[in-house]
Amino acid sequence: MRKDGIQTIYTSIKNILVYQPSKQPDPFVLDENQQDTKKINCDPIPLDSSESLQQLEAMVQYAKRLVTFIEDYIEELHNGQWFGKRREWKVQYDALKQQQTEINAILEKKNNDDNVSEPTISTSLEENQKKIEEIYQLPLNKDVVIRKFIISTQPEVKALLIFMDGLADKKVMNMAVLQPLMLLQNQQESDSDVVDFIIEQCLPSGQASRVGSFKEVQQGINTGDAVLFLDGIGEAVTIETKGAEHRGVDRPATEQSVRGSQNAFTEVLRVNTALIRSMLHSSDLITEMIPVGKRGHSNCAIMYLKTIANEELVAEVRRRIKGINTDIIIDSGILEHFIVDFPSNPFPQTLSTERPDRVVVHLVEGRVAILVDGSPFGHIAPISLFTLMHSADDFSMHFYYSNFLRMIRWVGGLISMLLPALYLAISTFHQEAIPTELLLSITAARGQVPFPTIFEILLMELAFELIREGGLRIPGILGSTLGIVGAIILGQAAVSAKIVSPIMVIVIAVTGLASYSIPEYRLASAFRIFRLVFVFMALVMGLVGVACSFFVLTGILSSLKSFGMPYLAPIAPKTTSGGDVILRKPVHMQQRRPDELNTQDVIRQGDVSRPWTKQIPTGGDDS
Amino acid sequence: MKSYHVGKLGVAEGIALVFGMIVSRLFLSGMSDGIRNNGQLYWLAMILFTLIPLVVLFMMVYVNNSVSGDIVVVCKHLVGKAGAWLIVIAYSGMFFANSVLVLRQYAEYTLSTALPRADFQLVIVWYAVTAGVICYLGIEALCRASCILLPFMLVGLFLIFAMVSPFYIVYNLTPWQGNGIMTVVESGVHGVGYNMGVLSLVFLSSAFQNTKTIKSAAIYAISGSLVLRIVDMLVYTMVFGVAVGGEKTMPFYELARLVYVNQYIQRIEALFIVVWVMFGLMAIAGSMYMGLYLIVVLLKLPGLRPIAPLGAIIVANLAMLPPDIGTTIRLDQLLVQVSQVGIYLFPGILFVMALVKKRRKKSCADI
């Protein structure tokens, strides 16, 4: 008893004092492919569903009573004895009515819970028109067009066509929708219903499908489709008439390559998916469409190869996108922040690309591509830090040269992050490490500058960022010209005015140049942020500060995950490499897909990927 | 293929964890002390105090496999609740003390070599905060970061060994008997505390994939550290000899100072600060994590993260207590001696108890 009391006091004090972590589900981890160990889900019904079970039981009981009542009533009617049992019927009827009231309440609640209380399409054309006018605030809103006409079937059917002006192609509308429907003369309606008849025999449009709710109607209209309502039918037909003006397929603006493909994504989702499909002719390639955004329904496409991509990964990507609760997603960059594991970490956790060929390469490796309507950039997930340092035309060049370029990029990355900090640390704390002649030269140059090194670094960094940002905003080709001229003039002027030393101009210029060698823009931005962190660490503790912060940064990156995959895989944790990490093997020697992706099919190509080398040539010999 | 469940660390991560924890004293005065006491035969002592903890680790793996659960559950099952508390607190204290004393020595080392004008407290706090942040990030981050950086650090060390080759005097390795074989054996038996970090693999067994991973990591880490220590000892002895080498308090720094390849590559010891700082951080953070982890499992706390800052503060404050570097080195030597309890006594008791329980269980089953 006494022991229990002490235990209780101990537990109470512990509960008050000890931090209790918030109850969150375990983070997603990209695990082994579970295909072989799939089990039928035999989970018991959760306890909190007992109320639902009771309600369901009540509804079944009501249905049974109703059936019995009707059967009995019919039987009595047949027997002709119904008059004598009027009172009995009345009592039973009242009881059923009472029960129906209760059932209705349950149904209403359930409908609210399931969010199926979306207004459904009415059989009355007027009601549908009224509903559409209410949704789109007509006649205030001038974008939505309502066109009434009559379809000359037997009997005639009144129809209502609704579309968004500017989003729908008027030529398609006139030639492929209105003309066939309005000029329909003396056509006999077949046995099938009128909707089937119209879809199958009257509309030459590419896609036409039935929809049953106003939510689907809105999705169709908002994306450029026309919606056809028919009088007396509680369904509508969405007809593909998309035809908004858009930019054509152009050359990549930020991921130019010397020898790779020259196509880039556009703002139209369907064009982008088609670009990918035109490069990857595989029936395994799946494109799932998920509408995102409560107010503006943007379509988001998930693309993957069904027989390669890890099913758990696909399900997780789908779950995250479906789980977004926001007004609108207008750009893939915004979507990224909603779905990555660590949105506050500046390091990119997806690969953003405007090149369909890059997307195709990664799809074949077993990754998932995410595209958003209206954004010319696709995202690839999951990725590692090493993927971000790969360039588009790495595989278009000989592997010796592309490996050399990769090394240059890594050196560039390290310079861009560490050079100012190392310069500051060595010149301030560890001058003995600098060769004497260079030290004298630096001292002489710095002698006339009245500011400390940190001030010089921050000033030059600020100037460099101003030039970079200003260069982006200055219109047209003037931007880059003014940027270069500005940098030269500013640098020269600053040195002449003895505000900064010439060596500092060199350090910052090399750093800036190195940051452009990083192929991924967001990664370069992350490096830029950490460059400042390193500078401040070097300011306080010299090389010790740089070493400590580099260790911490490596720790942060080691604990980072991209859609459940470790960010530094396959180095840490060490896994079987696919032959394309920091350096790459020749293409014919890359037999395996990246192990860290846990794909369904691990082997990319056979051990002998060039069997012709083993065959005897058919041509003549040298003699 | 590999699984990435949280806590499923592999061999490479295990090697990095142990290597970082046991090699850090290579840069401290322990090396010159050992050479002074044992002479040219110090390498034999190194072999001894490497092999004994390896055997002890295998015993602890056996103990750990005999009862499922963390170290507290295992100890409770074998030696009762009070015994478990005693053992786990003792181990936690040893790891904390290791963290504190390594931190203090590295701080002194930093003040002497890299930042002579820096404030003592600032350096201590700097190391403690960095180690605290790494502990906060977790064992996965600590092990994987160490795993990535370790190869570069080893390249740096071997580069130094190569660049001081013009100063090698092979005759300094004679007489090969050193100060006598019995002295060396005694040093080897008493010096096992240097390698107590290897037991962290058993304490963190739930974080590793399986027993085979733990054993492989232990073998690779401890044999790798043995090779590195012996190479370092031989190079150091060849360069300075026993008489001079035994006097120096910063052996590796002194070695790096000798580098002179040409007028452009000289006085590069400052650049190698990065290497030993990282080794130091691995040891401080690793020991601090182990100390905190044992407290967490003992008190059944819901997580380690909230107490990581507290651990860093305590370690920093304790590290400031010794009045001078001399006292710190003496305390460090004392810790190595005390750590024998954690290598010989506790594992011995647990191993015997595990054997006894197994036999009893077997005899009961036979009946």
The count of residues in chain A is 623
Q: Report chain A residues whose CB lies below 8 A from the CB of B122.
A: 540-541
Q: Which long-range contacts (CB under 8 A, 24 or more apart) does A205-208 make?
A: A205/A172, A205/A176, A205/A177, A205/A239, A205/A240, A205/A241, A206/A240, A207/A238, A207/A239, A207/A240, A208/A237, A208/A238, A208/A239, A208/A240
Q: Which two tokens stand for residue B349?
A: 């008791």
Indicate the residue type of B86. Answer: L
**C-alpha distance from A419 to closest chain B C-alpha (Å):** 14
Of A434 and B339, the structure prediction assigns the larger pLDDT to B339
Contact check, Cβ <8 Å, B273/A543: yes
Contact check, Cβ <8 Å, B271/A435: no
Mean pLDDT computed over B125-133: 96
**Given this model, what pLDDT does residue A410 score?**
96
Residues 156-175 of B with CB under 8 A from A: none
**Given this model, what pLDDT does residue A47 score?**
45
Instruction: Please name the member of A20, A544, A545 whose beta carbon is closest to the beta carbon of B302.
Output: A20
Asked if A541 contacts B116 with a C-beta cutoff of 8 angstroms, the reply is no
Q: Name which of A219-233, A345-359, B281-295 the model is least confident about.
A: A219-233
CA angle, residues A548, B149, B50, in degrees to nearest 5:
105
pLDDT digits (tens, 9 = 90+) for A382-440: 999 999 999 888 888 888 999 999 999 999 999 999 999 999 999 999 888 888 888 88
In the predicted structure, residue A212 carries a pLDDT above the cut 90: no
Classify residue A151 as exposed, middle or buried by CB count within 10 Å of its CB (0-12, 13-18, 19+): buried
Q: How far apart are CA A517 and CA A413, in angstroms?
A: 7
Buried b (16+ CB within 10 A) or exposed e, B146-162: bbbbbeebbebbeebbe
| Residue whose token pair is 């409560």 | A294
pTM for the model stands at 0.82
pLDDT bracket for residue A34 (50, 70, 90) = low
Residues 8-37 of B with CB under 8 A from A: 9-10, 12-13
State the CATH number of the domain containing residue B359.
1.20.1740.10
Q: How far apart are CA A523 and CA A254, in angstroms?
A: 14
pLDDT bracket for residue A100 (50, 70, 90) = confident
Helix, strand, coil share of chain A (percent; to 5): 50, 10, 35
Instruction: Please name the member of A433, A547, A595 whose beta carbon is closest to the beta carbon of B278.
Output: A547
**Given this model, what pLDDT does residue A188 score?**
54
Q: Name which of A296-300, A343-347, A593-597, B296-300 the model is least confident about.
A: A296-300
pLDDT digits (tens, 9 = 90+) for A479-521: 777 777 777 888 888 888 889 999 999 999 999 999 999 999 9
Q: How far apart are CA A546 and CA A536, in angstroms?
A: 9
Contact check, Cβ <8 Å, A544/B126: yes
Closest CA to A511 of A598, A423, A407: A423
Contact check, Cβ <8 Å, B110/A544: yes
Asked if A450 contacts A439 with a C-beta cutoff of 8 angstroms, the reply is no
Mean pLDDT computed over A11-20: 76
CA A173 to chain centre: 32
The count of residues in chain B is 367
pLDDT digits (tens, 9 = 90+) for B225-280: 999 999 999 999 999 999 999 888 888 888 998 988 887 777 788 878 889 899 99
**Given this model, what pLDDT does residue B2 score?**
36
The 8-class DSSP code of residue A617 comes to P
Q: CB pairs below 8 Å between A and B: how many?
A: 148
Q: How many CA atoms lie within 13 A of A563 on its CB side?
A: 32
pLDDT digits (tens, 9 = 90+) for A252-294: 888 888 888 888 999 988 889 999 988 888 888 899 999 898 8
Check whether the bond before A25 is cis (ω within 30° of 0): no
**Given this model, what pLDDT does residue A44 score?**
45
Mean pLDDT computed over B100-126: 93
pLDDT digits (tens, 9 = 90+) for B159-195: 999 999 999 999 999 888 888 999 999 999 999 999 9
**Given this model, what pLDDT does residue A186 score?**
53
Instruction: Please name the member of A32, A544, A574 whose beta carbon is closest to the beta carbon of B277.
Output: A544
**Given this model, what pLDDT does residue A574 score?**
87
Rg (CA), chain A: 34
CB atoms within 10 A of CB A598: 26
**C-alpha distance from B338 to closest chain A C-alpha (Å):** 30
Instruction: Please name the member of B4, B140, B273 whose beta carbon is closest to the beta carbon of A30.
Output: B4
Mean pLDDT computed over B26-31: 88
Q: How far apart are CA A413 and CA A308, in angstroms?
A: 32
Task: Pinpoint the alpha helices (H) of chain B.
Answer: 11-23, 30-38, 42-66, 71-113, 120-137, 139-163, 181-190, 200-203, 211-245, 251-257, 273-299, 308-319, 325-340, 346-366
Instruction: Give the residue numbers spanning the domain of B142.
Output: 13-366
CB atoms within 10 A of CB A292: 22
| Dihedral of alpha carbons B218, B224, B228, B234, sign | positive
In the predicted structure, residue B132 carries a pLDDT above the cut 90: yes
CB atoms within 10 A of CB A197: 19
Contact check, Cβ <8 Å, A574/B4: no
Q: How far apart are CA B278 and CA B150, in angstroms?
A: 9
Residues 67-126 of B with CB under 8 A from A: 110, 114-115, 118, 122-123, 126
Check whether the bond before A573 is cis (ω within 30° of 0): yes
Cα dist. A204→A182, A566, A599 in Å? 13, 50, 41
Q: How far apart are CA A250 and CA B225, in angstroms?
A: 57
Q: How far apart are CA A59 and CA A62, in angstroms?
A: 5
Closest CA to A241 of A167, A181, A311, A187: A167
Nearest CA in chain B to A439: B264
**Given this model, what pLDDT does residue A117 score?**
53
Give the DSSP letter string of B11-51: HHHHHHHHHHHHHGGGGSTHHHHHHHHHGGGHHHHHHHHHH
Q: Name which of A244-248, A506-510, B41-45 the model is least confident about.
A: A244-248
Q: How far apart are CA A401 and CA B165, in angstroms?
A: 36
Q: Report chain A residues whose CB lies below 8 A from the CB of B4.
A: 29-31, 564-566, 569, 573, 596
Indicate the residue type of A229. Answer: F
| Residue whose token pair is 């006598």 | B180
Q: How far apart are CA A10 and CA A2, in angstroms?
A: 12
Say if B153 is an interface residue toward chain A (CB within 8 Å).
no
Residue B6 in any domain: the answer is no
Check whether the bond before B175 is cis (ω within 30° of 0): yes
Residue B8 in any domain: the answer is no
Residues contacting B298, CB < 8 A, separation 6+:
B72, B84, B85, B88, B89, B92
Instruction: Please name the member of B2, B147, B274 whose beta carbon is closest to the beta carbon of A543.
Output: B274
Could you give the maximum distance between any two Cα atoms of chain A, in Å? 123
Mean pLDDT computed over A126-142: 87
Mean pLDDT computed over B342-357: 94
In the predicted structure, residue B30 carries a pLDDT above the cut 90: no
The 8-class DSSP code of residue B221 comes to H
Residues contacting A398, CB < 8 A, separation 6+:
none
Indicate the number of domains in chain B.
1
In the predicted structure, residue B334 carries a pLDDT above the cut 50: yes
Asked if B9 contacts B140 with a C-beta cutoff of 8 angstroms, the reply is yes
Nearest CA in chain B to A23: B302
Indicate the residue type of A261. Answer: S
Contact check, Cβ <8 Å, A573/B9: yes
Instruction: Please name the member of A433, A546, A573 whose beta carbon is closest to the beta carbon of B267.
Output: A433
Closest CA to A56 of A106, A1, A7, A112: A106
Residue B235 in any domain: the answer is yes
Q: Report chain B residues whose CB lies below 8 A from the CB of A425.
A: none
Instruction: Please name the member of A18, A437, A555 whose beta carbon is closest to the beta carbon of B302.
Output: A18
Task: Give me the numbers of helices (H) and strands (E) for chain A, helices first please.
Answer: 19, 12
pLDDT bracket for residue A222 (50, 70, 90) = confident
Contact check, Cβ <8 Å, A558/B6: no
Contact check, Cβ <8 Å, B274/A546: yes
**C-alpha distance from B38 to closest chain A C-alpha (Å):** 33
Query: What are the sequence ranges of the domains in chain A?
Result: 52-114, 125-239, 269-383, 398-566
* 3-state helix/strand/coil string of A277-346: HHHCCCCCEEEEEEEECCCECEEEEEEEECCCCCHHHHHHHHHHHHCCCCCECCCHHHHHHHHCCCCCCC
Q: How far apart are CA B359 and CA B361, in angstroms?
A: 5
Average pLDDT, chain A: 85
In the predicted structure, residue B91 carries a pLDDT above the cut 80: yes
**Given this model, what pLDDT does residue B7 score?**
53
Q: Name which of A138-147, B17-26, B327-336 the model is least confident about.
A: A138-147
Say if B271 is an interface residue toward chain A (CB within 8 Å).
yes
Q: How far apart are CA A596 and CA A593, in angstroms?
A: 9
pLDDT bracket for residue A42 (50, 70, 90) = very low
Residue % of chain B over a pLDDT of 90: 72
pLDDT digits (tens, 9 = 90+) for A108-119: 666 555 554 567
**Given this model, what pLDDT does residue A143 score?**
84
Asked if B4 contacts B205 with a C-beta cutoff of 8 angstroms, the reply is no
**Given this model, what pLDDT does residue A2 score?**
64
| Dihedral of alpha carbons B63, B68, B74, B78, sign | negative
Map residue A378 onto helix, strand or coil: strand
Residue % of chain A over a pLDDT of 90: 37
Nearest CA in chain A to B130: A548
Top residue of B8, B109, B115 to mutate, by most chain A CBs within 10 Å, is B115
Pairing of strands A208-211, A226-230: unpaired
Buried b (16+ CB within 10 A) or exposed e, A375-404: bbbbbbbbbbbbbbbbbbbbbebebeebbe
